[in-house]
Amino acid sequence: MAALPRNLKRILVIKLGAFGDFVQAFGPFNAIRRVRPNAHITLLTTTPFQELAEKSGWFDEVWTDEKPKRIGQYFALRQKLRAAKFDMVFDLQTSDRSALYWRMMWPGQPWLSGIARGASHPHANPERDKMHTHDRQREQLEMAGISKFPAPKLTWADSDISGFKLPKKFALIVPGGAPHRPEKRWTVGGYTDLALNLADSGVTPALIGTKDDAEQTAAIAKACPAAIDLTGKTSLFDLAGLARKADLAVGNDTGPMHMTAALGCRSVVLYSHASDPKLCGQRGKHVSIVRVAKLDELPLITVLDAIKRT
């Protein structure tokens, strides 16, 4: 394990990817900030997560990745990266693109925690792709000389949800997911039966999703009049505020379920063969994972049993 350089005044952290990936990096973000509290830390991320990053307190500056495609754009980014004079880069994305950004700082590249060839602090574990994201990122930082990983305080992730006029007892239902991955979704019928069951027990279902999920959530709301459809009405901060107050959250393997788990909400997450919770599953004190080969064959009773034991 290499020692973390002492004189780190300017640090770049790279984390792109989807919402769930970003949430799973909260722990590493916090660990990097705590080990170098006086450094100027810049995050390079994607536009949807800019405000989250800015309010977290972990970063002094947030850049958004514009995904350069033309030579002029690459040249402009190279100039920006070199002008920042970073002392070290923590590449938490560990992709070809993030490795390229580090190489663009040549000559005089900063120290690098990552997997790119030539990294000063490599994550030198050939089995890294078989590790859960949390464990993989933690080990990467350990190999860079960071040994303490206190649980991050997420008090900044909150919102006033009074405008949604929800009753005291409500459950978040997250029936959506990536449009191109239908195999990762439980059926509309399954979620409808769940919503009806919750409503009968005195818990109001609150449907969460984006415009891509509107068809599914509208069908559930139509079949369950007690449900409150918040599709397309919630920001990422609203999601956090809702997760803090909800009695329960049930959903597919999606980013919002990583947020509910991170905030301590009682969460039941549904998986099919299409993704492996051993590699990317939500973690938390009150999280249950239900995995079946095909989600269209998942019976309601299995979900209800998971709710009872969570």
Mean pLDDT confidence for 285-301: 96
Tokens matching residue 49:
């997560």
pLDDT digits (tens, 9 = 90+) for 85-127: 999 999 999 999 999 999 999 998 999 999 999 999 999 999 9
d(CA 90, CA 85): 14
Task: Identify the band that residue 17 occupies on the pLDDT scale cut at 50, 70 and 90.
Answer: confident
Q: What is this structure's pTM?
A: 0.95
Mean pLDDT confidence for 230-253: 97
Task: Identify the band that residue 183 occupies on the pLDDT scale cut at 50, 70 and 90.
Answer: very high
Mean pLDDT confidence for 45-52: 97
Mean pLDDT confidence for 42-59: 97
Please give the residue that has the higher pLDDT: either 128 or 1: 128
Mean pLDDT confidence for 59-81: 95
d(CA 88, CA 25): 18
Instruction: Quote the pLDDT of residue 42.
Output: 98
Mean pLDDT confidence for 282-286: 94
**pLDDT at 179 exceeding the cut of 80:** no
Residue 141 sits at φ, ψ, to 5 deg, of -70, -35
Instruction: Quote the pLDDT of residue 2.
Output: 79
**pLDDT at 291 exceeding the cut of 80:** yes
pLDDT digits (tens, 9 = 90+) for 206-230: 999 999 999 999 999 999 999 999 9
How do the domains of the chain map onto residue ranges? 10-143, 162-309
Residue with tokens 């051993």: 278
* Range of lowest pLDDT (36-50, 84-98, 179-193, 258-272): 179-193
**pLDDT at 45 exceeding the cut of 80:** yes
Task: Identify the band that residue 181 occupies on the pLDDT scale cut at 50, 70 and 90.
Answer: confident
Task: Share the mean pLDDT of the chain.
Answer: 96
Mean pLDDT confidence for 196-203: 98
Please give the residue that has the higher pLDDT: either 11 or 3: 11
- Name the CATH superfamily housing domain 162-309: Glycogen Phosphorylase B; (3.40.50.2000)
Q: Do domains 10-143 and 162-309 have the same CATH topology?
A: yes
CATH class of the structural domain 10-143: alpha beta
Instruction: Quote the pLDDT of residue 180.
Output: 82
Instruction: Quote the pLDDT of residue 108.
Output: 87
| Residue 75 vs residues 72, 96, 100: alpha-carbon distances, Å | 5, 18, 13
For the chain, percent of residues with pLDDT exceeding 70: 100
